[in-house]
Amino acid sequence: MSFTFGKQSQKANFQEIKQVKEWIYQAFQLDEEVSISLSQLHCTEPGCSPIETVINLMTNPVQQYKIHKSIAEIDYSNISKLVEDK
């Protein structure tokens, strides 16, 4: 007997992750010493898209942002909107 616990999320490739991080550094005008964490998760909240990307900027305090898209679907306008809305 086998069990399945949810769907496997599509994994972002290295180039997509690198591009999104570059956009984050540019848009937020971050120093290169600031680490960025990207996590692609299944969103279980009502009305949420199936996959969301959580962005953590390792500043003091840590800044967290969410984009309701996979890493592969994010473009620069999504990142710049985070800056405008903060």
How confident is the model over 78-86, as a mean pLDDT? 94
pLDDT in tens, 13-66: 999 999 999 999 999 999 999 999 999 998 777 877 889 999 999 999 999 999
pLDDT of residue 35: 98
Question: What are the boundaries of each domain within the chain?
Answer: 33-85
The string of DSSP letters for 22-68 reads HHHHHHHT--TTS-EEEEEEE--STT--SEEEEEEE-SSS-EEEEES
Retrieve residue 70's tokens: 């996979």
